[in-house]
Structure 1
């Protein structure tokens, strides 16, 4: 499988590293607007490097990772799709719903796979909790809440905290429930950023199931946690430590989680679905839903009212 990486910054460099370590994958080259960055990684991994992504796309690629700022996802994604290359694009799928739909429609028309990099679905703790929920151990799940907070990263300038990191948990909650959000209400504000930098988001699923997403760039230390409340017990998940703890009326149990790097699991899955011609999950449509909910959350806090999501 011949692959390339477009965007070799903080996240893109890890795509490069993991592809380079994978069996049955040939990392053909990378592209980045920084000539210095291209030279560094090309030398480190012994691969070709380009400052023009269109040159990389002409290297007979099977697939490409697009790891560039959100506002560039659509233009570069369309270039890749129109070149007949399968794509995994980092979350969120695009900066607007219109652009997200352009990407998904283009991929369908071109007959190529489009996967969205909602990496937390591949966190072993989330995978384990999904299995636990489906087993019925916790009974009917009625509420899931998350806390994703930490210090501000100055490199994030094109989107606010909801689209940057809140969208992770919006997607995870839909994944764990196996449902789409049908209403959202958000309280947020902008104190250190031009866009919102803290938010509390309430999600409604199928009228009777709730989700709460707390997120900010103000907390001095990073926290990534989730609580799932069921009729028979409660699960406490730590994304960072990759742990799941179950509490019921009698016992506190720790689930067996085989820890691993979520991005590695994600890219291994991406290559596997391409090799076996399987439709990806998260799909372009999953990416659109997460973006639709995130943008509705921004609309909600701007207007000060709940926003219904058309499904």
Structure 2
């Protein structure tokens, strides 16, 4: 296969970054871009700008990246599947798992690559944490705690903080640990006058018994993106803003017996910040999707995986509404 012809539909705040990466991607020609509102961020770089997907498809695409509100994903993705065009759709794939499953089947039944843009899976710190966990770096896992806080993003109008930001943390937790969620309990709040929630606190449990907690909001005057994984040998702290992974080992220094006679916990030990390559996550995500379209070995988030994550966000919102713990096997798919 020669160079791939790519299109981009969605030129908002995130879409402009996709345009930048696609324009420089090896083996790919970004042939046209589109958005109903036009090119508000001057991201086209001289390429044709269209206002609807039909006009974009007229440019003869091999694949398309969709960066539009989640409320539009069903119609756009189904149109791409019917046109025989591979697609990567920004998360969340859909607002309910029934629709997400429908989209997954639409692509798989046609032999098309359908992927979803969960950017955090390509963050160097989390990829390194996942690798080390698989090698037993922390021993048995106890807990995963995430914090994703910051100011309100004015460009997000179609969903609340659970689907927009919380979906990242729920996905990365299951992915890093290789364990699915079995239950969640959540509380939400509406503090900024919007129809959608702008704060959520979640407690979850994974299939292996690991306890999780997730604090997500659009109400903090600072930006924080932290994942803490704790196990029998210590803890990993991944800061995905800086792409740093730090290991806090359990202490090995013996204490006088009289000081620890009534305490059987851990003490502070060595601290190591791992050195690693730090490629831009968005570029890695696009490289992996390109390779998948080419039929090469690639690491993409499939629409089937994304559907599982939508089920978790559904359970979170149901728990917040009902005030009870929701098991994932109770969520209708």
TM-score range, shorter chain: over 0.9
Q: Distance in 2 between matches of 1:230 and 1:36?
A: 48
**1:135 correspondence with 2:154:** no
After superposing the two structures, state which structure 1 stretch, 117-126 or 256-265, moved more.
Answer: 256-265
Deviations 1:225-245 (A, max 9, x none): 010001111111101011011
Q: Distance in 2 between matches of 1:284 and 1:203?
A: 23
**1:308 correspondence with 2:313:** no
Structure 1 residue aligned with 2:257: none
Structure 1 residue aligned with 2:290: 271
Q: Distance in 2 between matches of 1:87 and 1:153?
A: 26
Pick from 2, 7, 11: which aligns with 2:5? Answer: 2
Q: Is the 8 A contact 1:88 1:117 kept in 2?
A: yes
Report the TM-score, using the length of structure 1 for normalisation: 0.95
Pick from 19, 27, 31: which aligns with 1:28? Answer: 31
1:142-153 alignment, distance < 5 Å: 142-153=142-153
Structure 1 residue aligned with 2:248: 247
Pick from 17, 20, 23: which aligns with 2:20? Answer: 17
SS in 2 for 1:191: coil
What's the offset of the Cα at 1:179?
1.5
Q: Distance in 1 between matches of 2:43 and 2:121?
A: 28
Q: Distance in 1 between matches of 2:233 and 2:43?
A: 51
Structure 1 residue aligned with 2:177: 177
What's the offset of the Cα at 1:276?
2.4
Q: Is the 8 A contact 2:150 2:218 kept in 1?
A: yes
> How many aligned residue pairs are there?
308
What's the offset of the Cα at 1:58?
2.5
1:73-222 alignment, distance < 5 Å: 73-192=73-192, 193-206=194-207, 208-222=209-223
Deviations 1:218-262 (A, max 9, x none): 101110001000111111110101101101124111111212211
Across the aligned residues of Structure 1 and Structure 2, the Cα RMSD in angstroms comes to: 1.5
Q: Which runs of 4+ in 1 moved over 2 A?
A: 35-38, 276-281
1:52-63 alignment, distance < 5 Å: 52-63=52-63
Deviations 1:58-80 (A, max 9, x none): 32211110000010011101111
Q: Tell me: CA distance 1:191–1:116, structure 2 relative to 1, closer, same or farther (3 Å).
A: same
Q: Is the 8 A contact 1:182 1:207 kept in 2?
A: no
Structure 2 residue aligned with 1:294: 313
Q: Distance in 2 between matches of 1:221 and 1:28?
A: 38
- Which of the pair is proportionally richer in helix? 1
SS in 1 for 2:220: strand
Q: Is the 8 A contact 1:190 1:197 kept in 2?
A: yes
Bigger CA radius of gyration: 2
- Structure 1: unaligned runs, 5 residues or longer: none
Q: Is the 8 A contact 2:167 2:313 kept in 1?
A: yes
Q: Is the 8 A contact 1:58 1:83 kept in 2?
A: no
Deviations 1:79-122 (A, max 9, x none): 11111000100011112222111211111222111001111000
Q: Tell me: CA distance 1:72–1:133, structure 2 relative to 1, closer, same or farther (3 Å).
A: same
What's the offset of the Cα at 1:177?
1.2
Q: Distance in 1 between matches of 2:110 and 2:126?
A: 32
- Structure 2: unaligned runs, 5 residues or longer: 252-268
